[in-house]
Amino acid sequence: MSYRPALSEILTSVIAPSAEVTGKEGKFPRGAVTALGRAGLLGLTASAKFGGGGMGLPDAADVVAQTARVCPATAAVLQSHYAAVAVIESYGSPWIRGEIAAGRHLSSLALAEDGPGEQGVEAQLRASCSTAARSGDVVALRARKHQVVAAGEADSYVWSSRPLTTLDGLTLWVVPAHAPDLFVPARPGGGGPYGSATSTVFADPVLVPADAMLGGDGGGLDIVLRTVLPWLLELQAAVGTDTRHPAAADVALRSARRPTDSLAPS
């Protein structure tokens, strides 16, 4: 069944009427996200095995492009969500995949950070300042993540940190957005379309189960370069530069100009 009739209805009846308030007042488009979830569009790219749409990147790009023409903030939220879902579909638990497929779960990316000596997003991806320390079955993550879309509004973040046991690379985690000790400033800031709730997320620390790891320890950089960035590039190309994802735009554009192997840790 095509998603286009449902998308057209939501754009007309839900997103368009609230787009002006979203853009002028910076109000997160919660009604739009809820409607997209109920219509199966948050689960568009989730596996049909779990009740999702089973669609691919071209379909996600079409949804984002159509949405961007009506509400850039909602489009930015969808870009981050679909890129995060691409990772979760490959490495996430059956429970979270089922929640996404059912349209009850909005995810986002928490990859960019700053710190001494870092030179832009590419350097941050290659050498994260975010730390991870394991004690039994629990991992403590400490970080200050910047340019997180839907900060404080999403249900989870795909989060990067230094590896637990190796010296090189990154490790990715799925972090519940409403976990204790995650803090989002009252006044979101940090780029992104107004209303997209793009802001900083602090963890000092946030505790997650060890099985929240996405992929292998130290394998996160490869996942970012080969899964996250291709999705972001395609979604950005669909809408142009005005609605590109703020956290990964720089490294995405650099990656498009040269082979990803040249970015891999030596």
E strands of 21-167, at which residues? Answer: 107-110, 112-113, 131-135, 138-148, 156-161
Q: Domain residues for 212?
A: 109-220
Phi, psi dihedral angles at 132 (to 5 degrees): -135, 130
Number of domains observed in the structure of the chain: 1
Examine residue 180 and state whether it is found in any structural domain, yes or no. Answer: yes
The model carries a pTM of 0.88
Examine residue 121 and state whether it is found in any structural domain, yes or no. Answer: yes
Examine residue 214 and state whether it is found in any structural domain, yes or no. Answer: yes
Highest mean pLDDT among 91-100, 125-134, 168-177, 198-207: 91-100
| Closest by CA position to 21, among listed 194, 198, 199, 197 | 194
Examine residue 114 and state whether it is found in any structural domain, yes or no. Answer: yes
Examine residue 263 and state whether it is found in any structural domain, yes or no. Answer: no
Those residues whose C-beta lies under 8 Å from the C-beta of residue 245, and which sit 6 or more positions away, are 76, 79, 80, 83, 109, 149, 192, 232, 235, 236, 252
Examine residue 172 and state whether it is found in any structural domain, yes or no. Answer: yes
Examine residue 148 and state whether it is found in any structural domain, yes or no. Answer: yes
Those residues whose C-beta lies under 8 Å from the C-beta of residue 242, and which sit 6 or more positions away, are 68, 72
E strands of 149-250, at which residues? Answer: 156-161, 171-176, 182-183, 199-209, 213-214
pLDDT in tens, 74-90: 999 999 999 999 999 99
pLDDT in tens, 121-148: 455 455 567 899 999 999 999 999 988 9
Q: Domain with 195 in it: what CATH number?
A: 2.40.110.10
Examine residue 34 and state whether it is found in any structural domain, yes or no. Answer: no
| Closest by CA position to 86, among listed 40, 46, 27 | 46
pLDDT in tens, 165-186: 987 889 999 999 989 889 988 7
